[in-house]
Structure 1
Amino acid sequence: MSSNATDGGVPPPAAYANLPHDDKRRSTLLSIWCLAALSLAFLVARLLCKLCTRRRLWWDDHVMVLAWAALAASVALSTWSIALGEGQHVWDVDPAHFGRLGLLGNLTGTFSILAAVWSKTSFALTLLRLLSGHPRLRALLWLAMGSMNVAMGLNALFLWVRCAPVAKTWNPAVPGTCWAPQVYPIYGVFAAGYSAVMDFVLALLPWKIVWQLQMRRPEKLGVAVAMSLGVVAGATAIVKTSQIPTLSSPDFTYVMLPLVVWGAAESAVTIMAASIPVLRVLLRDAHQLTLRHYIVSAGTGGGTDVRTADGAGAGGGEEMQSVVRREQPTKHRRDVEHGIDDDDDERALRSVGSQQTVRTARETTSKEGDMCSIRVALCDDGSSQEGQLRRDDAFYK
């Protein structure tokens, strides 16, 4: 996010009074810090929910923390640049600050790129666990993740190596040579556009998996939509891509501010979008635990029995439960149970009840398994043997 513009962009004093002197500093500061704060709120909520439910953090969580740290660094560097005059027209900026603004622009661009690619990588790592039984889709996901990191990594590297010596990349007054002025913006557009395409790939990939699960249609839609909010990040990436050509503008200190804002928006939106599916599952688990506690408490005083599909009690840890209300026996039923157990009608009643229980358990088992798979993929803490095996299989294969 730097420019090769020199003092040649400053107009002569006679024309200075007729030029615009507006600036974008306040609006830019408000935008980037709000984005950083919102994304931090989502990230902290995600981490706290995991820790409060005694789940350990996994690779996707650690990479997401790094992504937000890079976003915070880029926002802090942008704030410093704005204090030196970025956001004003180039003729309103002290020429002595141009070199420092160029260096800060390079640093801001580097951290902005890292924040974007790391946040997308974090979500890709989350998807890897969901795709543990789909080797072809896993291979596609690894290819997308690797190529995206290479393309964006080169974009960050080219910020620093496009001139020799390196100092000339942020201070055009230094003697040396540079690439043609349009080379880096062209590659920047390609890399940012490719990153946007990967946003849509990562957003649409869960639909194929979720729609094949044995779940109720509303639940499918909820899970799929929650995991597809990356399309919003893709939209912000497209807008950011359209702003990259402004890097070669003579009035670079003014026209590049939208690029700074949209760069921060891409990373912040990705962090929030990647945290929503995890928060959704964790909050759903918390609701289930609260409901389970209420049912068990009611059962101790009013006769409620809580059974999971495999027959375990409320402490069995399964997400989906079948709640069976035990009615208070009438005098007639007590007489039947104690005196006429061999009655054909009574045996038939018990047989029907047993068949209904078995049928209900069979119908819910498949749904429970799919919901358990989603929960393990998004936020399993690895404490169970099943979760650890799925995690190891997803990451090391």
Structure 2
Amino acid sequence: MTIGGEAPKALALMWSFVTVTWILNLFMPFARIFIEERRPSSADYVCSLSNVFLLLFAVLFHIAAGHGFGQSMPSLKASEASLAVKIGMIGQTFAILGMAIAKTCLGLFLLSILKGTELKWAKRLISTAFCSLLIDSIVTTIIFWVQCRPVTKIFDIRVEGTCDINVTPFAIALGVWCIVVDFLFALMPWFLFHNLVMEARDKIQLCSIMSIGVLAGICGIFRTLAVATGFTANYTLDTVPLIVWSAAEMAITLICYQVMSLCRSWRMVRGRLRKDSTSHHDSANAEGNSIDVHRMDGIPRGDKVARRTYESLRHGCNEGFTQQLTRVWCPDNDTDSTTGILGPDGRELATPVNSRICVKREVMFALLE
């Protein structure tokens, strides 16, 4: 059977979403291994799993379109219509679970940012949000498949049986909770990340990328509205908006995490380029000297982080940061403490602890002019 009706437009949109997310997903392992020089995180694996679910979602509805998805159900043969609905239900199962997995990916990323901080309430809120969403998705999926007895009654109107459960309220509740989680994860960084030890520019960039989740929330609103009208007798045609909005919401959620991860890799590349330039400058200035001398006169008076680090080194202790100080690098009046003070993992909040740093030789640290 030829693909017709609303299916071509729906499939074009779905495959566009799949293409974008998979291109970004293939770049992520490269960035982790060769740029950041570390193994992929748990959030990366969860993101890849959600990408697989999105791909299966698109593949199954492409197959369903060959049996009548996107066309009016009365115009289809009963055998073709039942097969289209059956394949579509399998596809929707991957969409329901994949949606929750995509939100979990963002939740794990936020938890990694807050690791080592005292914001326990925020950690609990984030964990509760994506865990409850996963549970809700599983429950909705089960109800979706057991709403009728026998199960074949759901997708084949020729089969005798009864449908005792109305799945629509459960699907709407899941859609509403997805919207809440989207807006929660999109807006929380603006309130939590102001104490991060990094440049204001990087904070704004991180929060702005997380705000892409607002678009996912908007898609979720349209998807939830489509749920209320999609489960009708004309299932093959009336579910088209539901399918498209589901794919859009899942894809935007994944893109949010993927872009954020790749931007982090780009910041590391940028930092290394600056470091190489500064190292070359230091080698030229320090040639012939027995001790490393870095000028301090270029530090702005308001740069409390750089001055406190210098004073801590002078007195042999560092009471302002949680991590061991391995290097201080402040090139070109750049006080990026993310890479310069706390090292490549400097996105954690700094909380006061008593720790000591032993300096083997006298070193004067300065902000290079």
* TM-score between both structures, scaled by the size of structure 2: 0.76
Mark the runs of 5 or more structure 1 residues left unpaired by the alignment: 1-21, 325-359, 378-397
One-letter code aligned to 1:68? N
CA–CA distance in structure 1, aligned partners of residues 271 and 129 of structure 2: 36
**Whole-Å Cα distance in 2 between the matches of residues 95 and 167 of structure 1?**
13
Aligned equivalent of 1:24: 6
Task: State how far apart, in whole Å, the 1-side matches of 2:133 and 2:230 are.
Answer: 22
Q: Distance in 2 between matches of 1:234 and 1:124?
A: 15
Q: What letter matches 1:321 in structure 2? A: W
CA RMSD of aligned residues (A): 3.1
Over 3 Å counting, the alpha-carbon distance change for 1:213 and 1:369 in structure 2 is farther
Deviation (angstroms), 1:47: 2.2
- 1:175 matched to which residue of 2? 160
Q: Which protein shows a greater Rg?
A: 1
The one of 227, 230, 238 aligned to 1:247: 230
Moved over 6 A (4+): 302-311, 316-320
For 1:60, which of 43, 66, 89 is the aligned residue? 43
Hey, what's the Cα distance between the residues in 2 that align with 1:55 and 1:367?
16
What is the distance in 1 between the residues matched to 2:67 and 2:255?
31
User: Letter of the aligned partner of 1:34 in structure 2?
Assistant: S
1:35 equivalenced with 2:43 (yes/no): no
Deviation at 1:101, TM superposition (A): 1.4
Identical amino acids, percent of aligned pairs: 22
CA distance in 1, matches of 2:327, 2:175: 41
Q: Which residue of 2 aligns with 1:45?
A: 27
Bigger fraction of residues in helix: 1
Equivalent residue, structure 1, for 2:359: none
Higher relative contact order (CA 8 A, sep 6+): 1
CA contact (8 A) 1:200 1:230 kept: yes
Equivalent position to 2:86, from 89, 93, 103: 103
Distance change (3 Å), C-alpha of 1:318 and 1:291: farther
Deviations 1:253-306 (A, max 9, x none): 222111111111111111001122211111110111123224434655677999
User: CA–CA distance in 2 between the matches of 1:238 and 1:306?
Assistant: 59
Q: Which amino acid aligns with 2:139?
A: L
Q: Does 1:323 align with 2:331?
A: yes
Render the CA deviation track for 1:155-197: whole Å, top value 9, x for unaligned.
Answer: 11111010111222222222221125xx211221111111111
* Matched positions, count: 315
- Offset of 1:121 from its aligned partner? 0.4
Alpha-carbon distance in structure 2 between the residues aligned to 1:60 and 1:114 = 16
Residue 319 of structure 1 and its aligned partner are, at CA, apart by 9.1
1:229 paired residue number: 212
Structure 1 residue 84 and structure 2 residue 37: aligned?
A: no
Q: Distance in 2 between matches of 1:35 and 1:173?
A: 36
- Counterpart amino acid of residue 147 in structure 2: R
Shift of 1:368: 5.0
Task: Find the partner of 2:142 among 151, 154, 157.
Answer: 157
- Counterparts in 2 of 1:263 and 1:92: CA distance versus 1, 3 Å: same
Q: Runs of 5+ in structure 2 lacking a partner?
A: 295-305, 314-323, 350-369
Q: Sort the Cα spacing of 1:370 and 1:152 in 2 relative to 1 into closer, same or farther, 3 A.
A: farther
| 1:1-397 to 2 correspondences below 5 Å | 23-53=5-35, 54-132=37-115, 133=117, 134-179=119-164, 183-297=166-280, 300=283, 321-323=329-331, 368=340, 375=347
